[in-house]
Structure 1
């Protein structure tokens, strides 16, 4: 076991928070924690995500995180920027500022980029290509600014989008947020990147 707890933050929007999951254990934060625990980490989890948050709202979450002196932060953001037509550059700048602030305090950061909203069931088929293009544009800008700020990007968008497009059960009853099965699929795609970051930090501490 790790000698001291790994202080883990989950920041972002309703997906980071777990809206739509049937049980608390099914949310991203709890699933990531379970995986890290199986890998030998003692995890101190803090979910600061706020449903409905856009990238500009990350600043307040980062301020709330300051006293926690976290080791690792997982940031899930972008769906609401897309839904509210926030310009990609504006959203990316806010994300870059948040990642930079976390990194300046020594927190490692893994960002889950905006989802492919074209798989949402109530998007008319005629608009799906346009929606997908907007999502890709934001995802690309997110990746660029996160890497420039010293964070890492979990490249899960395409894999998760395929799963959600193929199986309506990935969505909860509101047909927008993930179901427990959807969160399981997102977590399965995401946890390798989180494990890599946590293990690298552990190795550096042991060196």
Structure 2
């Protein structure tokens, strides 16, 4: 099974001190435990916005892809990309991957209000903007035939309550944070993998 990770620094594993504690290897291990042989490639680029997905999609399709996992949105939010623009770019990426025969799982924009750098007075506004952006992404992914993994609903409370889930930069996940994200992503990835290899 050709598993490809696309997106930003979270998909690339920035913040973890060990490669095996990043999303790609963690998800590949789950799929291997379910009986799949897995060929993993990570096309994600730290700092990527949705506008950069098309390049990653071309690389994934060129290498062959059965299951694609996309994690995107944080950099769109920090760069104030309008939701309708980022969502359309994500839609197009998912649609291109689906046309190539891949099952696609997307983790949408995180709730940036849990990041320590956000002043308390702004957290409600940041949370609302994050949620609205993620909702636009979800609708776009579904229209394009992808699957939305509702990772944020599971992990945001965990990250808000447990500082150890953050790397020392207090923005990216630590190895423990990546394990929490992978655990929330895994059911959707396993379901898509099973369906694509039925």
TM-score (norm 2): 0.99
Q: Name 2:39's counterpart in structure 1.
A: 44
Measured in 2, the distance between the counterparts of 1:97 and 1:200 equals 22
Q: Find out whether 1:53 has 2:53 as its counterpart.
A: no
Q: Find out whether 1:68 has 2:63 as its counterpart.
A: yes
Q: Name 1:169's counterpart in structure 2.
A: 164
Q: Find out whether 1:181 has 2:143 as its counterpart.
A: no
Q: Which runs of 5+ in 1 are unaligned?
A: 1-5
1:1-207 equivalences under 5 Å are 6-203=1-198
Q: Cα distance, 1:51 vs. partner?
A: 0.1
Contact 1:99/1:149 (CA < 8 Å) preserved in 2? yes
Measured in 1, the distance between the counterparts of 2:57 and 2:28 equals 20
Task: For residue 49 of structure 1, give the secondary structure of its aligned residue in structure 2.
Answer: coil
Measured in 2, the distance between the counterparts of 1:93 and 1:62 equals 15
Task: For residue 9 of structure 1, give the secondary structure of its aligned residue in structure 2.
Answer: strand
Q: Name 1:3's counterpart in structure 2.
A: none
Contact 1:116/1:158 (CA < 8 Å) preserved in 2? no
Measured in 2, the distance between the counterparts of 1:97 and 1:20 equals 29
Query: Which consecutive aligned stretches of 4+ in structure 1 deviate over 2 angstroms post-superposition?
Result: none
Q: Cα distance, 1:136 vs. partner?
A: 0.5
TM-score (norm 1): 0.94
1:82-139, CA deviations, whole angstroms, 9 ceiling, x for partnerless residues? Answer: 0111111110010001001101111110000111100001111100000000111111
Q: Which runs of 5+ in 2 are unaligned?
A: none
The total of aligned residue pairs comes to 198
Contact 1:73/1:110 (CA < 8 Å) preserved in 2? yes
RMSD of aligned Cα (Å): 0.6
1:56-106, CA deviations, whole angstroms, 9 ceiling, x for partnerless residues? Answer: 000110111222221000000000000111111110010001001101111
1:27-61, CA deviations, whole angstroms, 9 ceiling, x for partnerless residues? Answer: 00000000101010000001000000000000110
Q: Cα distance, 1:188 vs. partner?
A: 0.7
